[in-house]
A and B are shown apart, each in its own frame.
Chain A
Amino acid sequence: MTAWSYYIATLTVYFGVNVLSALSLNLQFGFAGVVNFGYIIFQAVGAYIAAVVVLGPSSGTFQQYVFGARLPFGVALLLATAAGAVLSLLIGLFSLRNIRRDYQAAILLIISLIGTQVVQGYVPLFNGSNGITGVPRPLSALPLNLQQYQWAYAGWVLLAAGIVYAVVTWLSRSAWGRALRATRDQEDAAAAIGLNVTALRLQVFVIGGAVAGLSGGLLVEYIGAWSPDAWGYAETFVIFTALFVGGIGNYRGAVLGVLLVPIIFLEVPRFLPQVGYPGLMDSVEWIAIGAAWMLCLYFRPQGIVPERRNRARRGEAAPHAAPVRERVGAA
């Protein structure tokens, strides 16, 4: 029973972290149309920063890293969030220029690959391919046994996810969120009425990057280690698949997608009998992710929970909505 409880608590932590990722991508992609195929590097930078600022100064022999310090975990999370935002700002400044969306996506994907190579190649930065281990768990002095601690941490991650959920939902409903949707659906028209499209995209990119950094920080404080294997470019597509399955442009769909794809999709195979040689099931999982992705694009590009149409409320001017066909096409 304890093993199950442990397992479920771990899954809950992963669920919370993936919900944060999905919220971030949904804000960027679903609401602003920014295709962040390099998402995982923003999570990774948050994780690395959160790890090195609690580990203490680098000894240089066991593992090398920069910024070694012993800060409380809360500060570490804030720094992780800031790191995600700063990296997003740097990358967004040149990648969010007015270029074709498919080019932009390909460039962000290439940046993601570059990021992995830099971290692997330059060992003094974050200990290269071996990664950083031994990150202490926050508040381990609390009088909790392992079981209780697991659940306390799961609750903490869910709380963080809930707060971010509330914030991004509020942001999307604000005038700023409407402006974002306008730039997504009718870029030229949005620019014509005086919206600064590039600035809006940069803002949403940085906010999404901050959430990504936070998710990385929360994850690394739980698992205690972080290496380039944890953030291959393909991880980004797991979250994107979750968005496609759940529905793009609405947050409930994003949460549902996370429940369906990274959790059920990737966890259920653990309980299936292992067939073939070891590692075959891993390949099959990825094939299934790709197949789910393709089928969603083919049959239901709007996802299980489609984006709600904005209706004009009394006393409010009717927002000019793009035709549904175009909206679906953009998904």
Chain B
Amino acid sequence: MLSTLVSAIGFGVVLASIIAVAAMGFTIQFGLTNVLNLSFGAVMTVAAFSAYLANRHGVGGWFGLAVGGVAGAVFTLLLGRGVFKQYARRGAQLFEMMMVTLGLSLIINYAIQAISHNNIYQFVVLPSSLIQLGSILITRTQLIIVFISVGVLVALQLLLQLTKIGKALRAMAADPDLARACGIRTGQIVVLTWLLSGFLCGLAGVVYIVNAQSVGYTTGQLFLPLVVAAAILGGAGSPIGAFVASLIMGVVTEVVAAFGNASYSTVAGFGILVLVLLSRPGTVRGGQAGHTQLTL
């Protein structure tokens, strides 16, 4: 009983680490630009397939992470500049922008479906040995994933708190107009945001398929609700909030899976989101939607 619980928590932490990488990227993007980007999952899939293709062409092992991250960064920047900004110029507000990202995700996902012949491909990076940690039995790959996730969190926190760029990012998330008036080059910061969040998005896509050992066109899309839920739960723009929220969702998901019907596990994760919305609607309040503006 106890060992089941402990090992479920162990798996929960692994799942949470994957969610967290994506959720931290999502929350930075969302906190700064205010775009509720539902094409985030599609970009994850693109990055995952990039890593898969790189792997097929001899880019070995963990370099796939870099490939996926760069692919995610470049693709996100292209979307941000080439699509989102154009719609914002035509007067799209928060809600219309979400619709745009949704249409975009349909196009990208089904384009991948068409290109990938709707197949699921094996993706085995490294044959991985099992490690015993107390009563938790996880693979070496999974342990590395946890370290990657914590590493991303630490790096992000350092970037945001200690560097000038981080200060500029936080200033823009708080008030873009004031930030511009203070001489922050807001355009550059937005580009940086696309690149940074895109990199994390791509990284998450690769980490996900490293763990799942397969990649298909639905890879990112199925994962997206968890990521959005974690980002909303943690509060927009807060990497540490996203990390903690991911941890809660991941652990609850796996514990429910261990003690009940596995198919309810994701439902339980979403249930938390609903509960949070019920208990603290103030965080996502927006009656005066005019006060929140897109920053692109």
Q: A222: CB under 8 A from chain B? A: no
Interchain CB contact under 8 A, A114 and B267: yes
- Number of cross-chain contacts by CB at 8 Å: 138
Distance of B103 from chain A, by nearest CB (Å): 4
**Cβ of B59 < 8 Å from any Cβ of A?**
no
In the complex the two chains form, is B263's CB within 8 Å of A35's CB? no
Smallest Cβ-Cβ distance to A37: which chain B residue: B102
A81 in the interface (beta carbon within 8 A): no
- Quick one: which of A102, A111, A117 contacts B263, CB cutoff 8 A? A117
**A329 contacts chain B at the CB level, 8 A cutoff:** yes
Contact A283 B113 (CB under 8 A): yes
11 contacts between A and B (CB under 8 A): A100-B289, A100-B292, A102-B97, A106-B38, A121-B267, A188-B288, A286-B110, A287-B106, A294-B107, A329-B96, A330-B95
Expressed in whole angstroms, the minimum distance between the Cβ of B209 and any Cβ of chain A is: 20
Q: Are A105 and B95 in contact (CB under 8 A)?
A: yes
Contact status B95-A109, CB under 8 Å: no
- Which A residues are closer than 8 A to B by beta carbons? 35, 94-95, 97-103, 105-107, 109-111, 113-114, 117-118, 120-122, 187-188, 234, 237, 276-277, 279-280, 283-284, 286-287, 289-291, 293-294, 297-298, 301, 325, 328-331
Tell me the bound Cα distance from A115 to B270 in angstroms.
11
Query: Are A294 and B98 in contact, with the CB atoms below 8 A?
Result: no
Q: Tell me if B58 is interfacial: C-beta within 8 Å of chain A.
A: no
Q: Which of B99, B105, B287 contacts A297 (CB 8 A)?
A: B99
Whether B232 and A103, one on each chain, are in contact in the complex, defined by CB atoms closer than 8 angstroms, is: yes
Q: Is the CB of A120 within 8 A of B263?
A: yes
- B contacts with A: majority SS: helix
Q: How many angstroms from the CA of A99 to the CA of B273 in the assembled complex?
A: 14
On whether the beta carbons of A110 and B263 are closer than 8 Å, the reply is: no
Whether B286 is near chain A, meaning CB under 8 Å from some CB there, is yes
A101 and B267: CB pair below 8 A? Answer: no
Which B residues are CB-close (under 8 A) to A102? 36, 94-95, 97-98
CA distance in complex: A142, B87 (Å): 55
Q: What 5 A-B pairs have minimum CB-CB distances, sorted nearest first?
A: A121-B263, A100-B286, A290-B106, A290-B107, A283-B114
State A279–B103 Cα separation when bound (angstroms): 21
* Contact A187–B287 (Cβ < 8 Å): yes
Q: How far is the CB of B247 from chain A (nearest CB, A)?
A: 19
CB-defined contacts of A331 to chain B, threshold 8 Å: 96
Q: How far is the CA of A121 from the CA of B229 in the complex (A)?
A: 21
**Binary A-proximity of B276-289 (CB < 8 A = 1, otherwise 0):** 01100100111111
Most B-side CB within 10 Å, residue of A103, A297, A330 = A103
Secondary structure of the A contact surface, majority rule: helix
Instruction: State in angstroms the CA–CA spacing of A120 and B109 once bound together.
Output: 23
Digitize B96-122: 1 where CB-to-A-CB distance is under 8 Å, 0 elsewhere.
111110111111011101100110000
B94 and A298 within 8 A (CB): no
* Cβ-closest chain A residue relative to B96: A297
In the complex, the answer to whether A298 meets B90 with C-beta atoms within 8 Å is yes
Contact A118 B118 (CB under 8 A): no
Q: Shortest Cβ distance from B116 into chain A, in angstroms? A: 9
Interface flag for B225 (CB, 8 Å): yes
Closest approach, in angstroms, between the C-beta of A63 and any C-beta of chain B?
18
Nearest residue (CB) in A for B103 is A293
A297-B92, A329-B93 known; 10 new pairs, CB 8 Å cut-off, are: A35-B95, A94-B277, A99-B281, A99-B284, A100-B292, A110-B228, A118-B264, A287-B110, A293-B106, A330-B95
Expressed in whole angstroms, the minimum distance between the Cβ of A127 and any Cβ of chain B is 14
A294, B292: Cα distance in complex, Å: 23
Q: Could you tell me if B281 and A98 are in contact, using CB atoms closer than 8 angstroms?
A: yes
Q: B38 — nearest CB in chain A belongs to which residue?
A: A106
A288 smallest CB distance to B (angstroms)? 9
Q: Counting CB contacts under 8 A, is B266 at the interface?
A: yes
Q: Are B267 and A287 in contact, CB atoms less than 8 angstroms apart? A: no
Q: Please report the C-alpha to C-alpha distance between residue A279 and residue B113 in the assembled complex, in whole angstroms.
A: 9
The one of A101, A106, A297 that contacts B87, using a Cβ cutoff of 8 Å = A297
A283 touches B111 (CB 8 A): yes
Q: Please tell me if the beta carbons of B117 and A100 are within 8 angstroms of each other in the complex.
A: no
B288: nearest chain-A partner, CB-CB: A188
Question: Residue B261 at the A interface, CB < 8 A?
Answer: yes
Q: What per-residue 1/0 map shows which CB atoms of B240-284 lie under 8 Å from chain A?
A: 000000000000000000000111101100100110011001001
Task: Answer whether residue B91 sits at the interface, using C-beta atoms and an 8 A cutoff.
Answer: yes
In the bound complex, do residue B281 and residue A97 qualify as a contact, i.e. CB atoms below 8 Å apart?
yes
B93 touches A94 (CB 8 A): no
Q: Are A287's CB and B114's CB within 8 A?
A: yes
For A297, what are the chain B residues with a Cβ–Cβ distance below 8 Å? 87, 92, 96, 99-100, 103
Residue in A100, A111, A330 with the greatest tally of chain B CB atoms within 10 Å: A100
> What CA separation (Å) do A113 and B271 show in the bound complex?
12
When distances are taken between beta carbons in the complex, the residues of chain A under 8 Å from B104 are 290, 294
**Are A100 and B285 neighbours in the complex by a CB distance under 8 Å?**
yes
| Contact status B106-A289, CB under 8 Å | yes
- Nearest CB of A to B91, in Å: 6
Closest to A101 in B: B95
Q: How far is the CB of B167 from chain A (nearest CB, A)?
A: 27
Among B264, B278, B284, contact of A103 (Cβ-Cβ < 8 Å) = B284
Known contacts A103-B232, A110-B228; is-contact A290 B110 (Cβ 8 Å): yes
Of B95, B100, B273, which is in contact with the most chain A CB atoms at under 10 Å from its CB?
B95
The residue on B at minimum CB distance from A281 is: B114
